[in-house]
Amino acid sequence: MLVLCVIGLLRKKRWARELAYFWGLAGSIHGLLTPDLQADFPEWKFFQFFWGHGGVILAVVFLLGVLRFRPESGGVWRAFLAINLYALIVGSLDAAFGWNYGYLCRVAGHPSLLDHLGPMPWRLFAMEGIALASFSLLTLPWRLARRGFTSRTSPCG
């Protein structure tokens, strides 16, 4: 994710910015809300986890605010296709080497949302549903802006 953010920040690569936006915000927000911490405060890995996830969010905010990136129509589906290709590659490596990157093979070692998503392979379908719903929610501000949503339509404004 950090590599995508760096490419998106340093190069005008729409695909990297789009994936950084959808994957970075959805993944980092979920990660910060349900952290899988391998260390306790004040260990280095504790800070590394929060700095890494927070750094991704800050990079995306910079893409939006300073570089004026805006997701385009179809971005949700491109991000969803890309994350499925990514999961296919990473899941294959996980299975071959006994890893569990992205929790594609088994749940975390502690109670988490994944425990409630069912057994494999149904858990993968549930994870895909969460990803698609998260990506779709991230388009909401842009869809509202295209429809002319302004503060004048607010009951408070």
Task: Give residue limits of the domains in the chain.
Answer: 2-148
Q: Mean pLDDT over residues 3-26, rounded?
A: 89
DSSP letters for the chain: -HHHHHHHHHS--HHHHHHIIIIIHHHHHHHHHS---SS-TTSHHHHHHHHHHHHHHHHHHHHHHTS---PPTTHHHHHHHHHHHHHHHHHHHHHHHT--GGGSSS--SS--GGGGS-STTHHHHHHHHHHHHHHHHHHHHHHHHHTT--GGGSTT-
What is the reported pLDDT for 44?
Answer: 79
pLDDT at 155: 54
pLDDT tens-digit profile of 83-130?
999 999 999 999 999 998 888 888 877 777 888 888 888 999 999 999
pLDDT (average), residues 4-16 = 87
For residue range 124-152, list pLDDT tens digits in order.
999 999 999 999 999 998 888 888 765 55
pTM summary value: 0.80
**Predicted local distance difference test score (pLDDT) of residue 149:** 61
